Every structure is written in C-alpha cells, then in structure tokens.
Chain A
Amino acid sequence: MAKKTDSQSKAIAGRAAQPVSGSHALDFGKAWTYAPSPEATDHIKLDKRYELFIGGAWKKPRAGKYFSTISPSTEEKLADVAEADAHDVDLAVTAARTAFDKYWSKMPGRERAKYIYRIARAIQEKARELAIVESMNGGKPIKESRDVDVPLAAAHFFYHAGWADKLDYAFQGRRARPLGVAGQIIPWNFPLLMAAWKIAPALACGNTVVLKPAETTPLTALLLAKLIEECELPPGVVNIITGAGPTGAALVNHPDVNKVAFTGSTDVGKRIQRAVAGTNKRLTLELGGKAANIIFADAPLDQAVEGIVSGIYFNQGHVCCAGSRLLVEESVHDVIVRKLTDRIATLRVGDPLDKNTDVGAINSKMQLTKIQELVKAGEDEGSTRVSAACALPAKGFWFPPTFFTDVAQSSRIAREEIFGPVLSILTFRTPDEAIEKANNTMYGLSAGVWTDKGAKIFWMGQRLKAGVIWGNTYNKFDPTSPFGGFKESGFGREGGRQGLAAYVELEG
C-alpha cells in the first residue's frame, strides 16, 4: 500500500474515474491501509548477462547481440539476454535433433520419467526464487506467482513425468511414437508456467525441445534452463533460446522442426499457421479469447462478484481465458455493478513483490499502450467507465482495475481481446440470449456460468462454444485438466490424457 499513497503517484490515465462507494458500502476508514510486506529479494542472484542454452551448454549468440530485460514495476534493468538469430536457432534445432536420435528416443519411458520428476522436484526446491523472479520480470503479484504459477509449473512436470512410461495405455489399441523436435514459443503472461505446459508433455512423449520464451519475460525460462542443466538431462534434450519475433519465426520455419507449439495472440497464431502450411510439421495453437462470464439472477451474487474479480483482474487480466465479457441477467445488473464497484475499490494495486498486492504491473509499455487505446475506444463509443480510484506508482506500467457498463456487442471493447484489467459488462434476459451473445465472437477459449441451478449449468455448458467452462468458479487450472480452444482460440489441448495427442504420432 505504501506505493499507492506515494506522493509521486500519478493520476489515472484517461477520463477521471467515477468516485467509488456509496452509503451502502462499508467504510473501513484507514483499516484497508496495509503496512508494506515486501518479499525479500536479497537472496536472488541474477546474472548480469544470460547466454543461450543450447546442447546442454551456455552459448554466446553468433551475432553477439543482447537485449535488456526490465522489471515492469520499476522500469529498472534486470539483466542482458542473448538475442538468437537464425544461425543460433539452427544450432539449437540441430542439438535437439542429435539429442532425439542419440538419447531421448532410445531411452525407456521409465528413465525419461525420472528425469522429468527431477525437474518437478527442482522447481519445488527453488520455488521461492522462481516466484520472486517471475514477479520481478513479469510484474505479476507475488501471491499469484508463489501460489499459482510456480506450484502449477511443478505440478505439470510431476504429472507428465508419470505418463512417460504409460503411453501405451493412453491411446487404446494404438501405438504412440514421438514426433521428433518440437519448436515451442510461449507468451509473457505466465512465463514459467507456459514453459512447463510446453516442455513437460513434449519430453514425456519422447520429443526433444527448443523453447523460446517471450522477449519481455525471459528470466524464469533461463532459470529453468539452469535447473534442467543441474538435473543432468542429456545435452540438447531441452534447449532454451531467447529473442523476439524474428527468433520465433526462424524456429517455426526451420525445416528440421517436426512440431510447432505456440501460445499467444490469434494474430501471430494465424501467421504461424500460414508459415507451417504446406509442410509436414504438426501444429498446436493456444490463442486469444474474449470469454463470456455469465451471471444469472439466481446465482449467489457475492460469490459471483468474487468470480468476476478473479476472472478479469487475476494477473492484471493478462490471461487468454480471462472473463472479459460479463453477461449479467438484466434484473441483477444494477446490484452486480454496485457490488463490483465496491469490490474493486478494495483491490490493492502496486508493488508485485508486496505480499498484499492484488493487481501488479502491466507487463510492458507496449501492452499498457494497447490497453489505454482500447479503453479510450470504449469511452469514445459511449460506454460508461468505472475505474478503481487507486493511486498508482510513479514508475512502471500500471492500469487500475476498470469496467465498462453500457457496452454494445459491436463495441471494440466487447469484441477485441484487451488483455488487461478491463471488463465489459453486457446484459441478457433469457438463457437463449445469453448463449447467443456468449457465442457471438470469433474466439472460443473459455466461459463462466454462475447459477444455483445445476441443470442450467449443464444446459449452458452444452451450448457454449468454448474449450473450458467454469461453473460457479473461474480461472482454475490443473495438469490433469485439458485446456484449449474452439474456433479462433486455436486447436489442440494441453493437459490431461488429451494433451498428449499433440506430441505423438499414432500408429494404427
């Protein structure tokens, strides 16, 4: 909280936020002011410069180029990171191919499993370090990186390790063969967790990997590379290379890559799909979303409000499955808006490393600009904006928890993925109308349904065109639970038995 009341704090960008709270809201006075509770970082030792992890060794980029990676909450530089060019990508793919031929495809599943278990355990052992670096580099609140990202990353390795020697049971009557070298490109919203989602199933199925983390958040992937080195995996089984778009493009286009897995925006996903067209490369895409979170009048409204908050403000809304379109049954619209207005006033926005922080920093300046642009479009199109009247730190990239009412289906803020803490509220009168509006999007990643009626949840669940549906809950993830989209939210699943299919060739 200290940061929020800082005298240097700047006003909220854009139109002044509406004053929050009214006579109905409980007045806690200064009771909401928490003492700072920052996570200690003195034990974190980041290198000044990170090289590329290729073939089990740290290699300098051929072109000698590096870029700096910063903390979005302070704008301070954390480290320099190598920028891989096509030559470096080629080295990494060659290392992965050699490792596939020489070690990984020949190794019995039970031995592969034990390597993957080692990784899971090492993540648990280094959990604190990983969580802190994740929050430093990505801006997400430490309570999320500590309680969600890192434990789930470990769980993904632990879960998939067990599959490595059980693939014969996974596909009835069919033999599963590994594909070869997997080129994997991951986003900046869950840097370590996405690396785990990608690497764990690929290794379990007997593939080797070249992974490229996002350019704004490379650090935990590089720590993971170090950890994998310490687990003594055969050289080249996992290669981690850093860089921006061109590095990713070189990886996608490398002729010796057998499988491309991408998580990121629908726009880039389509470009990758185009690049892979006409080749024999296998592809899975986990792309954008514009999920409907649907609140019926018979829902437990206070719980629903908590679900709305975790649906859209979790990880600053940098979540592909964020519940960014709230569909509220008309009769409870006003009460939901009132409750939500009160609730976002209590969200603590600020230092990601403070254990009390609910909403951290926006991941990058570029993303902040995009959010501001779409929020402005929302205002220009006549929607009513409500933002929490919180003070924001002077340095870093910040956006207050915000929602819009009076949103039309045709509004940009109801159609485009904002990928920020910005919610659009629409209304409906009948379940049919809710389905119609929920499905009226090119996306189909996720949806939420809040009602006290079990039959209604299933009725809605059958009709919503989305890959993940949360009934009376939101933003829950688990390695045993397949995740992935319908329509332009991509194809393929990650997690569960179904997720293995993305990394095997089936015979028979």
Chain B
Amino acid sequence: MATKTITKSIPRAARVAAPAPLPAVRLTVNKAYKMYVGGAFVRSESGRYLQVTASSSGGADPAIVNVPRGSRKDVRDAVLVAKNASEGWAARTPFNKSQILYRLAEMMESRRSELVTSLLRGGTAAAEREVDASIDRVVFYAGFADKFHALVASSNPVAGPHFGFSVPEPMGVVCVIAPARPSLLGLVSTVLPLIASGNTCVAVCGMDDPRTPLLWCEQLATSDLPGGVVNVLSGHASELAPIMARHREVMAMDVWGVDKALAAEVEQLGTDNVKRVKVHGPQADWYDERKAQGLGFIERFLETKTIWHPVGI
C-alpha cells in the first residue's frame, strides 16, 4: 500500500489509436469482474469462470474477459444474505426506499459514459439508448415506491360492524433470471420493480454480456442501497435456476427467456414450497414504456394482507 507507483499517463484516445503494443508507455490495469453478494464483490466459491467477449469499442477490458461462474453454494450464500436483508429493507419507509432508488439513478447518470462504453455495442447510439432507458427506468420505479400501495390497497366495505382493509406486502426473497439482452436494461427492468416494493433479490444476469450488469453493481454499491437487497450472480441459468427453484427461503422467481424445458423444471421444483414462479416468454420490446414497465411488474411479487377489526364503543 505504501509503495508509490509512478506511471506516465497518456490520453486514452492516443492509447487506443496506437496499433502496436510494444511502445506502450503504460500497461492498462484490467478489472477482475466479480459477482455482487451482500454488498461485497466476490468471486465464485467454486473458482470456476466463464470467458466472455468484451466491448468492441475499446473500453478498458481486453478482448476476452473472465467472469465468475456462479455455483450452488454461491446461490445459497446470496439467498442467505438476501433473506437477512429482507426484514430491514421491507421495514424502511416507502419514501426512504424511493430516495435510495433515486440515488441509484444519480449514480448511474454520473457514470453514464462508463456504462455506455462497457456495453457490447460499446459507444454506439444503441448503447447510449440502452443506458438512458435504464436510468429512466430506475427513476420510474423510484417514484413508484411510495405510490403503488394506493393503487392496489383497498378499504373493504364488509357487511358488518368491522373495519377492514387490505394492504400489499413484499413476498421476501425473489430470484430473477434476467433476460439475456438487453443486458443492462433487462436486469434493471426486472430487479427494480421487485425492490421498489420491498422484496430483496438474487439475480442471474443475462450472460450475453455479463460485464455491464456487474459494472452496474458498482453503482448499486454506492447508492445507499443496503447490502444484500440486490445480489447479482453471473453463470449459467440452466445450472442456477433449478437451485433457486429448490431453495425453500426463496418465495418467488421471475424467469425470463429460458427454454421450455428449463421453465418447466423450475416450475416443478418450485412446488416444494409453493413458490410463486412467473415464467415469461421473450419480452418484445424492453424500451416500450407501455409494456416493459408499470404496476403489473410490481404487482406480480406482492402479497395481499387483509386486516379486520371490530368497530364499536
């Protein structure tokens, strides 16, 4: 730590433009991508990795990047921290949740260029569009965190001397198999509605481009979101989804874009604890605000709690 490293820095543009590696004055520092569990960045306990292709636009990554290949134990660790974070997160006031989610949008906006560069289509207008839509989606759900109650709760006019009402409550730990793409917008669009309503989650990010979701976790980590509320694993959905489906502390699953056989397997395994498993076909358009965001995304992972009390003197 005490050693002072002396480097001569040169503008990135010049470095990228330089065709031959030999005369490079400074070697770039490659980032080791890690999963995000309990507010910490972790490798897979299994030590396994997957290799993925990095951005074509010359981001900081080399052409081939190693990402952790999450294991059964990683799922169990993540579910444990998500479960432990559950009570505290659900107990925060909706206003507080709303502010924390808005803070996440701020963190994303300030690191917007980093996200744009990181995406596989790095630096293109398409990448910019995805990042902007992702940030806007976070803002959308930040604003929903203290409003959906009013839309789904009810005062129940029962035929008797009782006051009755029904309120929404989070289910607990929800596991997400995020759509393969768009890797950032897909993860944001599936995770945000869950946590806006007080659930905690363990998500397997889309593996077409896992680097950007893992980069996004760095923004989660600086957004005031308590550790454990969102946990993101990289790995094979076909390996991890059945483990999640079998886990008895997982109350629900949101499964996107898997094949029919895996979907059926997950639904089968989930019956062990009457899991609420929602399997979706491919979402036609994650940019369509009418279809890819809204109350329905929140409502899917809510329980209704009905309370009665006599009225009298």
Interface residues of A (CB under 8 A from B): 155, 172-174, 266, 269-270, 273-274, 276-278, 285, 287, 442, 457, 461, 466-473, 476, 478, 480-484, 486-491, 493, 496-498, 501, 506, 508
How far is B254's CA from A73's CA once the two chains are assembled, in angstroms?
48
* A277 surroundings in chain B (CB, below 8 A): 264, 267-268, 270-271
7 more A-B contacts (CB under 8 A) besides A467-B304, A468-B306, A471-B307? A174-B295, A269-B274, A473-B308, A476-B308, A480-B164, A488-B274, A496-B306
Q: Which of A173, A285, A498 contacts B166 (CB 8 A)?
A: A498
B32 at the interface (CB under 8 A from A): no
For B263, what are the chain A residues with a Cβ–Cβ distance below 8 Å? 278
**Chain A residue with minimal CB distance to B281?**
A280
Please pick, from A287, A457, A491, A508, the residue contacting B290 in the complex, using a CB distance under 8 A: A508
Does B160 sit within 8 A of A, measured CB to CB?
yes
Knowing A174-B296, A476-B158, A488-B274, the reply to whether A483 touches B306 (Cβ < 8 A) is: yes
- In the complex, what distance in Å separates the CA atom of A285 from the CA atom of B296? 20
CA distance A493 to B164 in the complex (A): 15
Q: Are B304 and A493 in contact (CB under 8 A)?
A: yes
Bound Cα distance A269, B290 (Å): 35
Range class of the B interface residue count? 35 or more
Does A480 lie within 8 Å of B157, measured CB to CB? yes
**8 A Cβ contacts from B141-198 to A:** 151-152, 154, 156-160, 162, 164, 166, 171
**Does B23 count as interface, using CB distance less than 8 angstroms?**
no
Q: Which of B261-313 contact A (CB under 8 A)?
A: 263-264, 267-268, 270-274, 276, 290-291, 294-296, 299, 303-310
28 CB-based A-B contacts, threshold 8 Å: A173-B295, A266-B274, A273-B270, A273-B274, A277-B264, A278-B260, A457-B309, A467-B303, A469-B306, A469-B307, A470-B309, A471-B309, A478-B156, A480-B156, A480-B158, A481-B156, A481-B164, A481-B308, A482-B306, A486-B305, A487-B251, A487-B274, A488-B274, A490-B274, A491-B274, A493-B304, A498-B152, A508-B291
**Cross-chain contact B160 with A270 (CB below 8 angstroms):** no
Chain B residues closer than 8 Å to A488, beta-carbon distance = 273-274
CB-based A-B contact count at 8 angstroms: 114
Which of A173, A174, A466, A469 sits near B308, CB closer than 8 Å?
Answer: A469
Distance between A36 CB and nearest chain B CB, rounded to angstroms? 31
B165: min CB distance to chain A, Å:
9
B296 near A473 with CB under 8 A, answer: no
Q: Which B residue sits closest to A498, measured CB to CB?
A: B304
A336 to chain B, nearest CB (A): 20
* Minimum CB–CB distance for A446 against chain B, Å: 9
A496 pairs with B307, CB closer than 8 A: no
Q: Which 9 A-B pairs have the closest CB atoms?
A: A278-B264, A277-B267, A478-B158, A471-B309, A273-B271, A481-B156, A277-B268, A488-B274, A480-B156
In the complex, are the beta carbons of B274 and A461 less than 8 A apart?
no
Q: Shortest Cβ distance from B262 into chain A, in angstroms?
A: 10
Contact of A270 among B151, B271, B308 (CB under 8 A): B271
Q: Across the interface, name the chain B residue whose C-beta is closest to A458.
A: B307
Cα–Cα, bound, A173→B289 (Å): 13
CA distance A461 to B309 in the complex (A): 11
Looking across the interface, which residue of chain A has its beta carbon closest to that of B157?
A480
Give the CA-CA distance A478 to B309 in the complex, in Å.
Answer: 13
Which residues of the other chain, B, contact A498 by a CB distance below 8 angstroms? 152, 154, 166, 304
Complex interface: chain B residues within 8 A of A483 (CB) = 306
A497 touches B154 (CB 8 A): yes
Residue of B nearest to A276 (CB): B267
Chain B hits for A493, CB < 8 A: 304
A441 to chain B, nearest CB (A): 12
Residues of B contacting A487 in the complex (Cβ-Cβ under 8 angstroms): 251, 273-274
- The verdict on A274 contacting B308 (CB below 8 Å), with A481-B158, A496-B166, A498-B166 known, is no
Decide yes or no: A468 and B274 within 8 Å by CB, A481-B164, A496-B154 being known contacts. Answer: no
Nearest residue in A to B261 (C-beta to C-beta)?
A278
Question: Contacts of A174 on B, CB cut-off 8 Å?
Answer: 295-296
Q: Give the residue of B156, B160, B273, B296 whose beta carbon is less than 8 angstroms from that of A506.
A: B296
In the bound complex, what is the Cα–Cα distance between A274 and B273 (angstroms)? 11
Interface-centre pick from B157, B171, B305, B306 (highest chain A CB count, 10 A): B306
A274 touches B268 (CB 8 A): yes
A278–B279 alpha-carbon span in the complex (Å):
9
Roughly how many angstroms separate A439 CA and B166 CA in the complex, as a whole number? Answer: 19
Q: Are B164 and A466 in contact (CB under 8 A)?
A: no
Contacts of A269 in B (CB 8 A): 274
CA distance A73 to B65 in the complex (A): 74
Answer whether A471 and B264 are a contact pair too, CB < 8 Å, given A273-B274, A480-B158, A481-B158: no
CB pair A473–B309 under 8 Å, yes or no, is yes
Which chain B residues lie closer than 8 Å to A486 at the CB level? 171, 303, 305
Q: Is the CB of A467 within 8 A of B264?
A: no
Known A469-B306, A482-B166, A493-B304: A285·B274 in contact at CB below 8 Å: yes
Give the contacting residue for A155; candidates B159, B171, B294; CB below 8 A: B159
Give Cα A21–Cα B276 distance, bound, in whole angstroms: 48
Contact A472 B158 (CB under 8 A): no
Cα distance A286–B156 in the bound complex, in angstroms: 20
Residues from chain A with Cβ under 8 Å of B305 in the complex: 461, 466-469, 486
A269-B274, A287-B274, A480-B157 are known contacts. Are A461 and B310 too (CB-CB below 8 A)?
no
Given A476-B308, A481-B166, A270:B274 Cβ within 8 A:
yes
Residues of chain A within 8 A (CB-CB) of B166 are: 481-482, 496, 498
- The CB with the most chain A CB atoms within 10 A, among B290, B307, B309, is that of B307
Q: In the complex, what residues of A have CB within 8 A of residue B158's CB?
A: 476, 478, 480-481
Q: How far, in Å, is A216 (CB) from chain B's closest CB?
A: 25
B268 touches A442 (CB 8 A): no
A482, B304: Cβ atoms closer than 8 Å: yes
Closest B residue to A477 by CB, please name it: B158
For the complex, give the distance between the alpha carbons of A474 and B164 in Å.
Answer: 13
Residues of B with C-beta under 8 A to A482: 154, 156, 166, 304, 306
Least CB distance, B232 to chain A, in whole angstroms? 26
Q: For residue B267, which residues in chain A have a CB less than 8 angstroms away from its CB?
A: 273, 276-278
Asked if A484 and B304 sit within 8 Å, CB to CB, the answer is yes
Q: Which residues of B contact A155 (CB under 8 A)?
A: 159
For B166, the closest partner residue in chain A by CB is A482
Complex partner residue of A470 from B160, B171, B303, B308, CB under 8 angstroms: B308
In the complex, residue of chain B having the shortest beta-carbon distance to the beta carbon of A493: B304
Is the Cβ of B162 less than 8 Å from the Cβ of A476? Answer: yes
Q: How far is the CA of A476 from the CA of B307 in the complex (A)?
A: 10
Find out whether the CB atom of B159 lies under 8 angstroms from the CB atom of A478: yes
Contact of B271 among A274, A461, A472, A473 (CB under 8 A): A274
Q: Which residues of A contact B156 (CB under 8 A)?
A: 478, 480-482, 496
Of A481, A489, A506, A508, the most chain B CB neighbours within 10 A belong to A481
Distance, CA A488 to CA B274, complexed state (A): 5
Q: Shortest Cβ distance from A177 into chain B, in angstroms? A: 14
Q: Across the interface, which residues of B come within 8 angstroms of A278, CB to CB? A: 260, 263-264, 267-268
Q: With A and B bound together, what is the CA distance between A488 and B299 in angstroms?
A: 19
Which one of B268, B270, B308 has the highest number of Cβ atoms from chain A below 10 Å of its Cβ?
Answer: B308
Interchain nearest-CB distance for B242 vs A (Å): 12
Instruction: Evaluate whether A478 and B303 lie within 8 angstroms (CB atoms) in the complex, with A274-B268, A473-B308, A508-B291 already known.
Output: no
